[in-house]
Amino acid sequence: MHPSNPPTRPDPERRSTLAALLAVSLAISLPATAQPAAQLRLGTVVPKNSIYHQQLLELGEAWRTAQGSNARFTVFTDGSQGGEAEMARRMRIGQLQGALMSVVGLREIEPSIAALQNLPLLFRSWDEVDHVREKMRPGMEQRFADRGFTVVAWGDAGWVRFFSRSAAVRPDDYKRMKFFAWGSEPEQQAIMKSLGYTPVPLETADILPAVQTGMVDVVPSTPYFALASQIYATTNHMLEINWAPIVGALVVTRKAWDAMSPAGQQALRSAGERAGAQMRQQARAEVDQAVDAMRKRGLNVHRPDAAQLREWQALADSLYPRIRGSMVPADTFDEVFAHLQAYRATKGK
């Protein structure tokens, strides 16, 4: 090539245009990188096909539709993911994104929640439970948020009654029996032992075989759970006393919440409010219905008289100083009593 005729160089503007065209061509020809599917795996100890399970399925479908077609929703029922304390652990390590739990599991995340369930014979009606929960709800939800969890729904499962293998109506009648106790509540077990009772720490999945084999004689349970789990067939004596409400909530991890689209978050909140209201309404109605169904199948219902009720109330009153600061943080304990006292003052009670 003659030195007087050097090779021509591409114009800089032309090079830029060619690069842009090449980039567009590659973007069209190469497959798009797949976005990871949004996933919401919920654990719970409630029975499959129960009213609680059905509400979770409806909630999940609303969320999945809003989140998008690639969203995946799964509910694990019947304690298949372990007890409630275990589910709290699974959420922390990412194996579950959420759980519907009672206070037994929720207190593993935020101890102050115990004030809504672990105060025996304190609440006289569901109106009182609702009032105190709503008063404390903003602060409770903030405490859960501070610990990395979002509260999606609040529910309850009825009043705890005592189901036993033999008849019992007075507090002392139960001292000769072995009680089912939550394995994750050592404080409660210590209090029971100090009063002369015999707790047997187990998980929910262990209740039925435990009563069938005689490992436990008494199960504190809601009538609905006693019917659904069939424990009443062996512990076929029920004391008709509203010992305490079973209060629960559906929580999801902050990581899972932040990974949702705004539409998914809004759908989950709205569906959560509806599900919580339905759970509360249906669970409360199920108390009497479940008792009637079990009575027809051989359940013996024992109603304490006025003197026996005074014995139970005296027992509860003696428990409060032991519960305050151990099972329930002292400041939350005091807050519950303050809200309840104010509410009763307005009702003239």
Q: Are 97 and 76 in contact (CB under 8 A)?
A: no
- Kindly indicate the confidence band of residue 28, based on its pLDDT and cuts at 50, 70 and 90: very low
Percentage of residues of the chain with pLDDT beyond 90: 79
pLDDT at 92: 97
**Residue 258 pLDDT more than 90?**
yes
Q: For the chain, where are the alpha helices, taking DSSP H only?
A: 12-29, 51-67, 84-92, 103-106, 126-146, 186-194, 207-213, 223-229, 254-259, 262-296, 306-323, 330-347
Instruction: Indicate whether this model's pTM tops 0.85.
Output: no
pLDDT at 348: 79
pLDDT: which is higher, 120 or 23? 120
**In the predicted model, what is the mean pLDDT of residues 46-50?**
90
- Kindly indicate the confidence band of residue 2, based on its pLDDT and cuts at 50, 70 and 90: very low
Look over the chain and give the mean of its residue pLDDT values, rounded to a whole number: 89
**In the predicted model, what is the mean pLDDT of residues 135-151?**
97
State the fold for domain 39-347.
D-Maltodextrin-Binding Protein; domain 2 (3.40.190)
- Kindly indicate the confidence band of residue 65, based on its pLDDT and cuts at 50, 70 and 90: very high
**In the predicted model, what is the mean pLDDT of residues 319-323?**
95
pLDDT at 36: 58
pLDDT at 272: 97
**In the predicted model, what is the mean pLDDT of residues 279-294?**
91
Element (H, E) at 75: strand 72-76
pLDDT at 223: 95
Percentage of residues of the chain with pLDDT beyond 70: 89
- DSSP bridge partners of 98: 42, 252
**In the predicted model, what is the mean pLDDT of residues 238-244?**
96
pLDDT at 283: 86
Query: How does pLDDT run across 196-240, given as a tens digit for each residue?
Result: 999 999 988 899 999 999 999 999 999 999 998 899 999 999 999
pLDDT at 11: 52
Integer angstrom CA distances of residue 211 from 63, 93, 218, 233: 39, 33, 8, 10
**In the predicted model, what is the mean pLDDT of residues 110-136?**
95
**In the predicted model, what is the mean pLDDT of residues 50-67?**
95
HSE, side-chain direction, 13 A CA sphere, residue 337: 14
pLDDT: which is higher, 349 or 234? 234
Per-domain boundaries in the chain: 39-347
**In the predicted model, what is the mean pLDDT of residues 324-343?**
96
DSSP state of 166: S
Lookup: tokens for 104: 């037994």
CA distance 158 to 282: 9
**Residue 349 pLDDT more than 90?**
no
- DSSP bridge partners of 156: 247
**In the predicted model, what is the mean pLDDT of residues 241-253?**
96
Q: How many residues does the chain have?
A: 349
CA distance 74 to 57: 8
- Kindly indicate the confidence band of residue 295, based on its pLDDT and cuts at 50, 70 and 90: very high
CA distance 308 to 227: 26
Query: How does pLDDT run across 144-203, given as a tens digit for each residue?
Result: 999 999 999 999 989 999 999 999 999 999 999 999 998 778 888 999 999 999 999 998
pLDDT at 203: 86
